[in-house]
Structure 1
Amino acid sequence: MATLALPTRAERDGDKQRRSVLKSNGALVAYVFILPYVVFFLAFRILPAIYAAVLSFAKYGLSGNVGFVGLDNYARLLADDLFWNSLRVTGVYTVLAIPLTVAISLAVATLCNRTLRGMSIYRTIFFLPVVTSPVMSGIIWVWIFSQNGPLTWFLNTLHLPAPAWLQSEIFVLPALAIVSAWSNFGYDMLILLAGMLAIPREYYEAAELDGTSGWQRFRHITLPLLKPALFFVVVLEIIRSFQVFDTIFVMTGGGPVRASYSLTFLIYDQGFGYFDFGYASAAGMVLLVITLVVSLAQRRLLGRSSS
């Protein structure tokens, strides 16, 4: 017969201590400070997601009449060439943007991981694109990629052909990937730099005594110990790439010939262009599922790497 295990005195004392902490004035103050964020998160994140999930099974337009249609919106998605094109565009953009952003972030983090005079100023400068408005960044980069912009002038100086970046079906996604790398590398740089600073200096000192080169130390010490931070940065960039909208809206509007028509732009276009909110919500649910799958994969990969 199974016996009921009674809690020990230490466990009872621990439970009493935790309950007293939860009821203390400090805990109440902490609850008051986090309450605005919780309310904001529920009002602008959770409730809209639930509402979108409900709308994905309905037909809803400007008339305001909601009609339940079951899985018809998802069946339309599977049969819609525009949806598959947006998914392909998003995938290609992700494949182009992530390696470029991670490579630049890792290189800049390595350069900033030095004890040089004025290094904090350089780190601040590298972080400035992160706090720059996406709309302003898009307008600036439209000028840079224009036929009268500095990039065209630089290529012509080197006697190299300057393509019409934003008007070309071939070059528009690489151009947007460059803008994404410029906008996001500062944030990723800080994450990677924090991971580098957490590596014990004794490892590098021992490697230097063994006569290893800088590349060998980076390859055999920095990269293996930086793996959790790299995994986090990669997954973060995957989520960003699948949710890209601002730069596409400002710079290309989904063109040319829908060569930059991403999944998020499809959601916007169907919802606020054609006012088919049910169909747009179904596409949004697909994007949500993709994001959740990537997040769960990231959690498993991080768990394996840490073990």
Structure 2
Amino acid sequence: MTYQRTAVTRPTWRQRARDPGWGLIFVLPMLVLFVIFRFVPSLGAVGMSFTDYRLSGDFSFIGVENYSRLINDDLFFDSLRVTLLYAVMYVPLTLVVSLGTATMLHHVVRGRGLFRGLLFLPYVTSFVMAGIIWIWMYQSDGLINGLLDGVGLGPVPFLTGSQTMVLGSLAVVSVWKSFGYSMLILLAGLKNIPEDVMEAATLDGAGPWAKFRRITLPLLRPVIFFVLVIETIAAFQVFDTIYVMTGGGPARASYGLVYMLYDQGFRFFDFGYAATIGVTLFVVVFVISLVQRYVLDRENT
């Protein structure tokens, strides 16, 4: 009886490079940085919220006193209302602009890279520079009011009028500044939609709007959910635009939660109370994200 030896083939370097262990090695430095500079400070903020930590470094454990103070603080609820109103304006407008520009870029044949770069350019612009430019544009003798004057609408108090006017004006600036990132994410999602599905819909007589509503939007639902989450987080963390353009005014019409956190921590040096605001802000955003996920999943079913 004879036995035939089976040759053992060693994996090539390409096959070894696909080992998940190698991927973990390459990700490890960023993971370590994330743990050190993100996760650990977040845990520290949670612990600090149960203390009366001050600038001197002295602190004592006070339990839930900061949270009780927060519940009874009218300024906190006013800031929360301002932040929610701003998010209601900013998030849908960003989604519409991002989805619209991504759809147009998806159908551009020539110069797609050029248009994509031009539309993404505001995202890499400094918030301070963008705020200064838009302050000039919003002034009574600025560009926008100059155009409105030309058609007889008169000067509009974009940054000094009602709360809705001020927050709407700030939301427009933030959308102009930030929509490019969400546009690229949605553009990647559009490229992943199979072409044969669109061709089959065309053969069935579906028009552009029917294909967009019946095919594009349902297949983009996971991407849209991701965009909604990141833009909601951005809306609740808005600070730079408010700090540069209004300083929380007029009469605290744009005084959001992060601005309140900034004041408590770096103006009054009440770091324990500032950490409490930050933890509460995280909980609010987390709950809103869960609601968004539930609504999208329910529509999917």
The TM-score, its normalising length taken from structure 1, stands at: 0.86
Whether the 8 Å CA contact 1:228–1:305 is kept in 2: the answer is no
Structure 1 partner of 2:61: 68
Work out the CA distance in 2 between the residues paired with 1:25 and 1:116: 35
Matched, 1:165 2:158: yes
Query: Who is 2:216 aligned against?
Result: 222
Aligned partner of 1:262 in structure 2 is 256
1:1-307 equivalences in 2 (<5 Å): 30-170=23-163, 171-297=165-291
TM superposition shift of 1:43: 2.0
Contact 2:225–2:293 under 8 Å retained in 1: no
The CA deviation string for residues 124-146 of structure 1, in whole angstroms up to 9 with x for no partner, is: 11111111111211111111111
Q: Deviations over 1:106-133 (max 9, x none)?
A: 1111111114211211011111111111
CA contact 1:228–1:306 (8 Å) conserved in 2: no
Higher mean Cα deviation, 249-258 or 154-163? 154-163
2:159 aligns to what SS in structure 1?
A: helix
> Cα distance, 1:29 vs. partner?
5.9
Deviation at 1:66, TM superposition (A): 0.3
Shift of 1:34: 2.9
1:230-266 CA distance string (max 9 Å, x none): 1111121111111111111111111111111111111
Instruction: State, as a whole percentage, how many aligned pairs show the same letter.
Output: 49
What is the distance in 1 between the residues matched to 2:33 and 2:125? 24
CA RMSD across the alignment: 2.4
Gaps of at least 5 residues in structure 2 are: 1-10
Tell me the residue number matched to 1:9: none
CA distance in 2, matches of 1:153, 1:304: 47
**Counterparts of 1:75 and 1:219, CA distance in 2:** 47
Q: Please, which runs of 5 or more residues in structure 1 have no aligned partner?
A: 1-16
Post-superposition Cα deviations, 1:66-101, rounded to whole Å, max 9, x if no partner, equal: 021111111111111110000000000000101111
Q: Deviations over 1:267-306 (max 9, x none)?
A: 1110001111111111111011123323444555666677
- Decide whether the 8 Å contact of 1:97 with 1:177 is kept in 2: yes
Amino acid at match of 1:210: D
Q: For 2:124 and 2:180, how far apart are their aligned partners in 1?
A: 9
CA contact (8 A) 1:113 1:196 kept: yes
* Residue identity opposite 1:219 in structure 2: R
- Distance in 2 separating the partners of 1:101 and 1:115: 21
Distance 1:196 1:159, change over 3 A: same
Distance 1:254 1:232, change over 3 A: same
Question: Secondary structure at the residue paired with 2:52?
Answer: strand
Partner of 2:4: none
**How many residues are matched?**
287
| Structure 2 counterpart SS, 1:59 | coil
Q: Normalising by the residue count of structure 2, what TM-score does the alignment of the two structures yield?
A: 0.87
